[in-house]
Amino acid sequence: MSSPQGLACPRLPAPPARLAEAALFLDLDGVLAPLAPTPDAVGPEPRRTRTLTQLTQALGGRVAVVSGRTLAEIDRIVDGAASAASGVHGLERRRADGALSARAPAPSVRTAVAAFEDFAQNRPGVIVEDKGLSAGLHFRQAPNEAAAALTLATALADQTGLTLQPGSMVLELKTPGADKGVAVAAFMTEPPFNGATPVMVGDDLTDEAGFRAAEALGGFGVLVGPERPTAARYRLENVEAVLDWLGALASSAAEEKEARA
């Protein structure tokens, strides 16, 4: 088990197989979908869609996808199976009832996009992602550019006041003011999430704020992937293990719901 300060012990246990009154907050890439060479290489997958649909029904709607992707990309990849969702690291959010809220984009995001595009121009494999509220610089296909990308992104963050958000082979400069923890906390004040036990499932450094928020609200985080220092209390090995666990949760929640009926 890890401490709230993020000091990890050598092994984190698997999360409980049964959870009463859970509210699930699920990252997308690396959690519900395998990491891919490029952002647009990830698409809908029948098992993922089916599992999310069953889980949402069994938990009375207490399931939200909380991702660095935009809401439009979340909807495309999960094939519309998540009514509640937060995109761009908490900067845009759709409540379970469909109501939308979003921060206004910082004007300097345009500066970051232009600088990233200049950087990528003569570097094969480097990809720029313009999310409106943020600018992403992906170098999964050009890992030798990592140091130069970090130097550029750090300088731009200092210059523009944008928030530097490191991820898995990506650096993102985003409009300040929110993160995944802010999104989790906001969902937990609203139906159908309020009063439930929050569980944040994520794989990346961007998910640590979500882990901490879940823990502070009486729940816990689940790290997906290799062991590392984390605020999560439990761990699952990979996307396949996540889908297996979510499927088991959906089944147990449905059984409990039927027994109470």
Query: How does DSSP classify residue 15?
Result: P
Is 79 in the active site? no
C-alpha triplet 104, 105, 108: angle, nearest 5°: 140
Q: Which of 27, 29, 75, 204 is catalytic?
A: 27
Angle at 198 between CA 194 and CA 203, to 5 degrees: 145
Tell me, what amino acid is at 174?
K
Q: What angle do CA 143, 72, 106 make, to 5 degrees?
A: 70
Q: In this structure, are residues 137 and 162 in contact, taking their beta carbons and an 8 Å threshold?
A: no
Asked if 169 contacts 203 with a C-beta cutoff of 8 angstroms, the reply is no
User: What is the Cα–Cα distance from 115 to 103, expressed in whole angstroms?
Assistant: 23
- Cβ–Cβ under 8 Å, residues 67 and 29: yes
Q: Catalytic residue positions?
A: 27
